[in-house]
Structures are given as C-alpha cells and as structure tokens.
Amino acid sequence: MSGDTSTLSWRSMSPISRSDSSDASPVARETVFPVKIIKVCFLSNSSNLGKNFKLVRCEEGWTSIINVVLSSGCVGPEINNNLCYSLLLKHLKSSEIHWLHPELTVSELTQRYEQQHLEAEWRYDLRIRYIPSDFMERFKDDRTTMLYFYQQVRSDYMQQYASKVSEGMALQLGCLEIRRFYKDMNPNGLDKKSNFELLDQCYSFTQERFPCQLVHGWNITINLVIGPEGISQQTENSTVSLNCLSEFSQVRSIACSTENDGSALLTVHIKDKQPLTVTTSSLAVAENMADLIDGYCRLGGSSEKSLIVRPNKGSDVYAEIPEKGGEWDDKHRISRDDVVVGRILGEGFFGEVHDGVYKSPTGERTRVAVKTCKDSSAEVKEKFLSEADLMKNLDHPHIVRLIGVIDVDPVWIVMELYEHGELGHYLVEEQYCLSRATLILYCVQICKALAYLEGLNMVHRDIAVRNVLVASPECVKLGDFGLSRYIDEQEYYKASVSRLPIKWMAPESINFRRFTTASDVWMFGVCVWEIFSMAQQPFSWLENGQVIIHLETGSRLPKPQFCPPTIYSLLTRCWAYEPQGRPGFSQLVCSLRPAWEKERAHMEDALQKQRREMQMDKQWLEQEERAETDVVELNCGKVKQCAALLSQPRPTAELDRSDDHVYTGVMLMVKQVVQLKNDVNALPASEYPNAVKAVGESLRTLIQRVDEILPSLHSSVITEIEGTKKLLNKDLGELINKMRLAQQNSVTSLKEECQRQMLAAAHTLALDSKNLLDAVDQARVRANLARPKPESLDTEDPGE
C-alpha cells in the first residue's frame, strides 16, 4: 500500500488561470507561498489501513502538528498527556530515523533529512516517547493514551522479538519464564491490566539504550540508558544494575556538536555535577538522544520550553561582537626594536624560546625570555597569546612577570628571565647543597602564588617543577600559564581534548577533564613530592593509562627520603580522592609556614652547636697549623715528621720502612690532608668533592695494603685492626658530611667556620690512619715479621 507511506506537498497557486500557470514567469513563481502537507501515521485497532493516518497542513513548524492530530479525535477521545507524544521521521528503505523536535522548522527538515532520499520513502509516525515514571497512575484518566501505549508496546514486541523465534518456541519459552518469575501469581488475574504489567516487567519498553563512548580521560564504551527514572549508565557487556548519572530535574542545558571524524559530542550540563559528555557515531544519534532528554525535561516541568542550546543561525541582521581580550594596551605592547634576541633556550609548544635583553623606555636593560610562534594563523596566534592575556593582570612576588607582547607577525611574548632556570634542573644540580628548610621554603612560595590565583578564580592546570623558575637560591616563581584558565562562576573548567600532564592530574581531571582549585591542590601535592624527590618524575614506573587505575585503588606516591613526615601527611590530604576533602591553598600556606619555621630553627640550632664545637677546636687547629711549619719534607720516610702534624703525636716503632706499603699508605694519607688544608681557601665550593675524593682514594689504597698482610698476622690482633678500619670509614663519612655543610654555607657568614670543621674531620682521619699503622706494627712484631731500622738511619739527625 504505497499510497499510505507517501508524503504530500504542493504550492498555493497565484491568482492566475491554471492554463496559464505553465507560462508563468520566474518572477511570478518566486511569489508563490510554500505549504507542506504531511501524512502522520498512528496506531489503531481498526483493520482499515486507510483510517490509520491523518493529513496535516504544516506551514511554520512542528509545534502544533501533534496537537492537531490528537485534538482531531482520530487517535481517540479525551487525551490529556500531549507532552508524552512525539513525531518520528523514518526512512522505509533503511534503518535511518529522526525524532522531530518541536523547534525544528520545515526548511531545516527538508534541508537536513528529506533531500537525502526520495520524498515518498519517508514516513511520519506518531509515537509515545516520553513516559512518566508513574504512567500507570497518570494514564488512569487518559484511557486513550494507555491503550495507545499498549498498542505501541505490542507492535514493537511483535516487530523486534516475535519474528526471531518460531511461534511454538516463543510460546513455550514465554510460559516457562512466566512460571519461573511469577510462580505466586493468581491464575485468575488474567485481565488486560495484569497482562500489561507483566509485559512491562518482562520487557523494558520504557527505556531507550544508546551505545556510545563516555569521554572519561580516554573513551569508555557504555550504554547510555534514558528512561522515566533519569539518565543512567551501563558499561559494555555488564549485567549489573544501572548507575544513575542524573535525574531530569537536574538537567540545565543540552548541546550537540560535530567532530572532525564524523562523530558527534552530546553534552548535558547537570546541576552541582560535572557535565556529562558522550561521543556518538553520528550527529543524528546525538540529536535523537538530546530530543529524548529534552522531552523528559519538558514532561517533568509540564512546559514546552526546550533546554537544547543550538548554535546561532547565520544572518545578515545579526553579527558577533568580538571580545576585547586579544587587544593590548600601550602598557603591555612593546616594540621589536627594543628586544635583542640571543641564543635558543629550548622548544615550546608553539615555537622556540630565546634568551634576550629588553631595553625599557627608561633605558633599563632586563634579561628576558622571548617566546615565539611559528604558525601565523589567527587561531594559533589567539591560543598563543592567551597565556600573555592571563599574565598581564598578575602581580605577585612569586609569579613570573610579563614584560610585554609583540602582537604583529611574528608575534612574541616577552617575559622576565631568571638565571638559575627551571626548578627541576636546579634541584638536580644543587641537590647536595640544598637544605630541607630551603626545600620547604620553595613549597611555601609556590603555595602563596597558587593562593593568589585561587583568589582570582583561576586554575593553573600544570603545576610542576618544570614550570617553576628559580630567581635566586632563596626565591622561586611560578610560570607557564599556557594551560591556565579563569573559571568565573562555573567553579570548574572543562578542558578540550588535548595533551595534558596525566601523571600530575587529579582523578576527576583524568576521568572527566574537570579542573578546579581542588585539582590544582592535587597537582601542588605532586609538585611538592617532586621537590623532595629532587625532580624525579611521579609514577615513572607506570604508563599514562595505568595511573588512574593505580589512583582509584587508593595507592599514592611514596614518601620521598628527605620529606619530613609532617609534610608528607599534608600531601596525603592534598591527594584525597574526593575534591571536597582536599585543603585550600590558604590553609596549606598556614600549615607549611610552621613546618618551615621549625626546620629553620632546627638548622639554626645545629649551626650554633657547630659554632661552639668549632670554637673549642680553634686552639687545637691553631696548634696544628704551627706544628705544620716544623715539617720540612713529607718524603723523608720518618714517622716523627708525620706526627708533628697531628695532635698529641705518638712515635712509631723503630722499624725498617723499606718496602713497607702500609707505612707508605699512611704517609700518602697525611700528604692529602695537608694538601686539602693548604688549598681549601682557594678552592671554589664546587671543587670540594674532588679534594675529599682524593683523600678517600688514599684511604682505600691504605686499607687494601692492610688487607694484603692480614693473612700473615696472628688472629688475636686482627680484631683490633678490623675495628680501626671501620673507624676510618666512619671518619671518611664524617668528612663528607662536613664537606657538604661547607658547600651549603659557602656564600654565608659561616663559611670559615664550616671550612675549619671540615679540616678538623680531615685531621681526625689522618690521626686514626696513624693509629692503624701502630696496630699493624705491633702485630708484625708479635709475628716476627718486622725488621729493625738500619743503624745508618739511627745516627741521622732527627731534625733532618
């Protein structure tokens, strides 16, 4: 019955005779008024198919078509639930369907859908799509709608399920299922209403399921279930109960957009929750889902007002007023002639970053970093300059200062340059010189900068040591605002699909690309972890895709070796899974400041103790310096000259020292200590490790020589020698600690005192080396391995 599925349309004729219409001019044809007649098909108990449709004249749109059909009485009398009905445009030769939203115009319908196929291949069906959760109660007074819904469910069942199995098999399976699930049912309760309830319970025709991908950091395949109870989620191949994402009363707006690959995004903005965003296979599917959600919202609010946000239509009457965010005043616009560009410092996202010098109007010269943009397209330039647009209004002692921009091609962003560079590199280079108090100070300064941004309703989104610059050993500044955004009243920022620092991000940022001040707090905690780990990468042992799984199991980054327990306890609070469980930046500043003051006081106490110890050793050191002037040669082979260098020297045994490798090792140790003492004032702090390394190598050589003769010595003296060796290793460790302390204070007033303490540790090492020689000599005498000193040496003048 092809006539039942055709769509009729014509144009109203102008007041000329029909015989002359074929000769009408083109101008006359343009004056005809377009009228569209559509045939709306509906369900009926009548076997006469000619009565199952109604022709409706459509001139403006679809708002009144459903009301016209329902009020005509062709469907049934006294229909009270008009908002439950919708129009479905169906292509008869394919599975293509489109639900027609009331705001869709005739011209849009023709342009978007009908032109794709022959007009006769389309069919308009009247259906109940928006079903109240209490439809059994609401439909009591609307028997026509109840009967229509029953017919619709029965028709869908027969078309979608009944044809898949034979009638006999379907009957047997149906009976078995009813007996299994409803074994307690009253056999007499077989009226139509009871059967309908059973049908509704066995098969859910009140819900629609849409396979799609949840935008969740990466795409997760789910079934989005939309029904009277709200919007729910069911993961692919899951048989568990549905996870409700939102009720319709919480929906604030709905939007659809197309992607470059032909897919589409459906975004549902929900009150007090992050937006729900899913990817569908096509724009048509996204629009069908949007119409369903919008229809339920209209039904719940008993209003025809739509929540779908549609893009503005093109028009000659309306035009966009561009924002003034991209315009730069004279304060921030600088001349290219005032910037001298130097070497390349690195490669940024948009282009190279150069060293340079900027000459201000007053003649002052400032070292600057010049960011360049290699792409001159308007879209890229806008994104490139967005960082400067945010920075131009920032004024904080711990935030990188913007010098200005050059907004003509090639565009530049000029910022202040700090000689110590990125904090990450600085931590690696100076890890042996940085005290714990200094590391906490860096954390406090970064936290203050973020508290300032929090007050401006700005999220940074990329807090890491690579984006912190070191202005001086006592001052760091937060930089790189390329990912920063104002959040205004929305309280969060929804990021677009782009490259993001996954291993630094909070769970809600990874899952939903949702950024708030709370997500910045999480990233700040990771940045603090980097500082105390000396710029190690967080979760370096995991792939990006494994991080969120790791976090959702409750695992967190481990405590760094140099991180105080109080600081790490604060980090665990920053890493609370729920954003509302994390402290604010103002609270973090108040918590970090006492920790820094305590650590600084502890460091001052340690320095005071060192001063007292140095004062006590001062006289002894001066005595050692005077004794050193009495040493004429270190290669004379006499132990008396070595002892003159040491405090309270004891003479060695009068033995033959020819081919005595232990004695030679002790003398080499003494020589290295004296060399360290003579050179310490001239050496830069960076060379201290090399000088101490020479002493350590001498000690290693000495211990190797002792180990060579141990098998020939009596076992009763080996224990004493081994204990002396352990003491020497302990002395070397103390020397290394004093060397590091001297490095840390190389630019402070404690420089000389720390150097004296390092020399004291070196002298202790030399003295214990001499004690080792005495122990070895005694053991060799006991084992009859020692030879007396030759007579020619006994007669020599001791002062030689």
Active site residues: 462
11-18 long-range contacts (CB < 8 A, ≥24 apart) are: 11/35
**Contact indicator for 302, 275 with CB cutoff of 8 Å:** no
- Distance CA(75)–CA(635), nearest Å, equals 120
HEC readout, 672-731: HHHHHHHHCCCCCHHHHHHHHHHHHHHHHHHHHHHHHHHHHCCHHHHHHHHHHHHHHHHH
DSSP string, 195-236: HHHHHHHHS--S-EEEEEEEEESEEEEEEEEEETTEEEEEET
**Alpha carbon of 133 to those of 139, 231, 305, 406, 630: distances in Å?**
11, 13, 20, 61, 105
Q: Which amino acid is at 775?
A: A
What totals of helices (H) and strands (E) does the chain contain, helices first? 22, 25
Strand partners, 127: 86
Helix (H) or strand (E) holding 442: helix 436-455
Helix (H) or strand (E) holding 174: helix 167-181
Checking DSSP bridges between strand 243-246 and strand 251-258, what pairing results, if any?
unpaired
Helix (H, G, I), strand (E, B) or coil at 343: strand
- Distance CA(529)–CA(246), nearest Å, equals 37
Tell me the CB-side half-sphere exposure of residue 509, using CA atoms within 13 A.
28
Cα-based angle 132, 311, 30 (whole degrees, multiple of 5): 105
User: Given CA atoms 610, 612, 617, 622 in this order, what sign does their dihedral have?
Assistant: positive
**Contact indicator for 207, 234 with CB cutoff of 8 Å:** no
Helix (H, G, I), strand (E, B) or coil at 172: helix
192 has binding-site annotation: no
Nearest one of 262, 325, 280, 582 to 454, comparing CA atoms: 582
Give the number of other CB atoms < 10 A from CB of residue 757.
Answer: 24
Q: How many residues are recorded in the chain? A: 800
Residue 507 has φ and ψ, to the nearest 5°, of: -55, -40
Helix (H) or strand (E) holding 254: strand 251-258
Tokens of 196: 């309908």
Q: How far apart are the first and last CA of the chain?
A: 132
Helix (H) or strand (E) holding 610: helix 585-628
Which residues are within 8 A (CB) of 510 and not within 5 positions of it... i.e. 6 or more apart? 217, 502, 547, 548, 551
- Distance CA(487)–CA(485), nearest Å, equals 6
What are the binding residues for ATP?
Answer: 371
